[in-house]
Amino acid sequence: MGGPRERVLHDFYSKEAKRLGYPARSAFKLLEVQQKFKVIPKAGSVLDLGCHPGAWLQVVCQSLGPAQHGGAVLGVDLQPTTAPPKHCDERVSIWQMDARDLTSSTLRQFNPKGFHAVLSDMCHPTSGNATRDALQSVGLQQLALEVAIGRADDSLEDVSE
């Protein structure tokens, strides 16, 4: 019998992701959130922090609606990432960089009006120390929140203005 890693690799969502052309089963998390809460507006502008391997980029692009209606997606990740060809189109851009280096002026280069939604699936490599790993996760959540609402010293503009 296989260990936990083998079971994860072969669970229903992993198989379904592969069948549907998603590089990761995490696509289903965002699909469920989008179905329930409609966080990604049609033709909106979305920032995806921790975008590797690109499954959320695909879901965002699908949620924006047809390409001719507009919209834009910016993925940011430390790892080299390419937009998966299935479900993604020319509206997807990817920056390989540390999200901690993002500033409002950097983001305005991509979209001067700001973002309608900021998504984050960032995670640190786990160390095995539950306390340390939890603190690092909280730090990344705080970073995503600061990017979404603006830092005190570098506020981001609200797209509703």
Residue with tokens 């970073």: 143
Reduced to 3 states (helix: H, G, I; strand: E, B; else coil), residue 60 is helix
Show the tokens assigned to 78: 């430390």
Domain ranges (residues) in the chain: 39-149
Distance CA 75, CA 81 (A): 9
0.75 cut: is pTM over it? yes
Domain 39-149: assigned CATH number? 3.40.50.150
- pLDDT per residue over 44-81, tens digit each? 999 999 999 999 999 999 999 999 999 999 999 999 99
